[in-house]
Amino acid sequence: MRKDSILEIGIDKNERLYIKPKKEKFTLIYRTATEINWDNKAELLYSPKPREWDYFDWYKHIIEVILNECNCELELSENTIWNNITDNLKSSIMKT
């Protein structure tokens, strides 16, 4: 199994949660039909704007899909950048 650090986690101007890996690229993630997409320009994974799920649910979903479908474990590091993330969401994510 591959491992990669998460460079940044944030919520963009379109209210989507995104995760930017350090080195891995997931250009074909759309094929999993899990509502997770890859932005080639920004090199990050992103969810749709939350409807029934909250941002924490989307974070867990992205991490799980990448693990199960791409055989890659995305890990937080002490250098992970948190952009537009509430303290409550950050705390929940760090506990996973």
Looking at residue 49, which CATH number applies to its domain? Answer: 2.20.20.40
Per the structure, the count of domains in the chain is: 1
pTM assigned to the model? 0.95
State how far the alpha carbon of 10 is from the alpha carbons of 16, 32, 56, in Å: 8, 22, 11
Q: 31-47, pLDDT tens digit by residue?
A: 999 999 999 999 999 99
Nearest of 39, 13, 9, 15 to residue 27 by alpha carbon = 39
The residue range of the domain holding 63 is 2-94
Q: 44-78, pLDDT tens digit by residue?
A: 999 999 999 999 999 999 999 999 999 999 999 99
**Quick one: pLDDT at residue 66?**
98
